[in-house]
Amino acid sequence: MQFKRYWVRGAALLALVLFMVGLSLVRQWLPGVGSLDLDQFENIHYVNAVECTPGQGECRVPVNEGSVSFSFGDEPIRPARAFPIRLQLQGVKADQIRVDFEGADMYMGLNQTRLTQMADGSYQGEGYLPVCITGRMAWRATIFIAKGSDTLALVLEFVTE
């Protein structure tokens, strides 16, 4: 009887090890599919965009070489409703732009939106925030603008009701 118990424990341990190895192989083979991009950016220079209020029109943030103008729509951001993200670069180059939304005081999952470059040179995407059961929620948005190995990160905070 004890032999059977050890065999079951060994089989469970082997299944767990195989599952972990499989996950790491999938991440290597399919890096763009479902990856969380947590360690994607290097040489990050953070800029606080404290004067910006998402959902109230366009905001312009001066940076070393130029400026970044962005908007999360003209209406207050509401959880469980998609909202537009628009961004325009002036004197700043980018290979990739991504916006991360995270709960400022509470973990609300990883919410990332990659912006797509449009024909007019602007970048656009669609944001979506999950519902917080408390109703009022403080959020932090980080706009990552990557060019080569350097990344500019604009950080702003806002509250949803």
Question: Distance (Å, rounded) from C-alpha 125 to C-alpha 123?
Answer: 7
Q: Side chain identity at 131, as an amino acid letter?
A: V
Mind listing the pLDDT tens digit for each residue in 62-81? 998 799 999 998 888 888 89
Mind listing the pLDDT tens digit for each residue in 81-135? 999 999 999 999 999 999 999 999 888 888 999 999 999 999 999 999 988 877 7
Task: Give me the pLDDT at residue 131, please.
Answer: 87
pTM of the model: 0.74
Query: What kind of fold does domain 44-160 have according to CATH?
Result: Immunoglobulin-like (2.60.40)
Closest by alpha carbon to 125, among 152, 87, 159? 87
Q: Which two tokens stand for residue 58?
A: 């366009």
Q: Distances in Å between the alpha carbon of 99 and those of 4, 61, 114, 146?
A: 52, 15, 6, 11
Mind listing the pLDDT tens digit for each residue in 24-53? 554 444 444 344 455 577 789 999 987 888
Closest by alpha carbon to 90, among 111, 71, 64, 113? 64
The answer on pLDDT for 11 being more than 60 is yes
